[in-house]
């Protein structure tokens, strides 16, 4: 499939840092786990009004799923689809529960020096595009992050990623939007793969054609077939 993908830009998200891109409606962004070991936090904003943001709570209501599968969309706080997952070559393990890491999180983990963090990376990535966000947002889509719901149905277990080098997802833009990514700097809690807790670079490609097209699904309504 990848031979057919056409891109207009390639962006490296360096380990521990963040980058953002601007997508036109109908374009897509491919997020490539180059080393197969990295968690990538992701946010999205309406390009014409960045007060409208991709909202994990509204997304779970829309899809009636804890985490997205191919064909599922991500929904804004204004209940509009903003991104749709149209391809996923990874095992499909992602997370919508866990807050992005921030400065306070590392203090709580015992760090006595400032630690790079995803929440600052969000603001840094957007600022590089000249966009100031009206407020922070800890509710990221955590691509490749392995948070397992335990058999009791309520307990969560934090585990390393299960992705292979080169695995990717593709997110299609359902409106003109900004999408921000952070190659999560977490090196204290074991979430990055290979057991070495070492953040690594990932690659983001803005795709213009060649990616799978799936129909946009409407919101879940009681009584409709799942
Ligand atoms: Zn993080």
pLDDT digits 0-9 by tens, 128-182:
999 999 999 999 999 999 999 999 999 999 999 999 999 999 999 999 999 999 9
> What's the rounded Cα separation, in Å, for the pair 39 and 20?
16
Distance of CA 88 to the CA centre of its chain: 12
Spacing, Cα 162 to ligand 1 middle (Å): 17
- Answering whether pTM is above 0.85, one says yes
pLDDT at position 3 is: 54
Ligand 1 centre and the CA of 226: distance in Å? 33
- If one counts every other C-beta atom within 10 angstroms of the C-beta of residue 213, the result is 10
3-to-6, 36, 169, 211 alpha-carbon distances in Å? 8, 20, 15, 10
**Kind of pairing between the strands at 167-173 and 28-33:** antiparallel
pLDDT at 2 over 60: no
Place of tokens 């590089």: 128
| Ligand 1 center to 80 CA (angstroms) | 26
Distance of CA 185 from the midpoint of ligand 1 (Å): 5
- pLDDT at residue 225 is higher than 90: no
Paired residues of 41 in beta bridges: 142, 182
pLDDT at 199 over 70: yes
Instruction: Give the number of other Cβ atoms within 10 Å of residue 37's Cβ.
Output: 23
- φ, ψ of residue 192 to 5 degrees: the values are -80, 150
Averaged over 174-194, what is the pLDDT? 94
CA gap 144, 162 in Å, rounded: 8
**How many A from CA of 118 to the centre of ligand 1?**
4
State in Å: Cα 114 to ligand 1 middle.
14
Q: How many helices (H) and strands (E) does the chain have?
A: 3, 12
């Amino acid at each position: 499939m990848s031979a057919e993908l056409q891109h207009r830009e390639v962006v490296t998200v360096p380990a521990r840092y963040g980058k953002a891109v601007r997508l036109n409606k109908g374009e897509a962004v491919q997020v490539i786990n180059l080393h197969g070991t990295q968690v990538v936090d992701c946010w999205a904003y309406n390009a014409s009004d960045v007060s409208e943001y991709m909202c994990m709570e509204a997304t779970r209501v829309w899809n009636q799923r804890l985490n997205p599968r191919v064909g599922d969309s991500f929904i804004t706080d204004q209940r509009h689809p903003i991104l749709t997952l149209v391809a996923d070559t990874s095992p499909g393990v992602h997370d919508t529960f866990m807050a992005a890491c921030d400065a306070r999180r590392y203090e709580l983990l015992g760090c006595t020096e400032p630690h790079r963090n995803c929440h600052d990376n969000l603001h840094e990535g957007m600022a590089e595009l000249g966009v100031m966000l009206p407020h922070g947002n800890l509710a990221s889509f955590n691509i490749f992050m392995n948070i397992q719901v335990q058999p009791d149905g309520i307990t969560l277990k934090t585990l390393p990623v299960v992705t292979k080098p080169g695995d990717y997802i593709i997110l299609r833009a359902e409106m003109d939007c900004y999408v921000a990514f952070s190659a999560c700097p977490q090196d204290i809690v074991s979430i990055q793969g290979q057991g070495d807790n070492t953040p690594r670079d990932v690659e983001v490609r803005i795709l213009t054609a060649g990616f799978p097209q799936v129909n946009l699904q409407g919101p879940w309504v009681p009584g409709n077939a799942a």
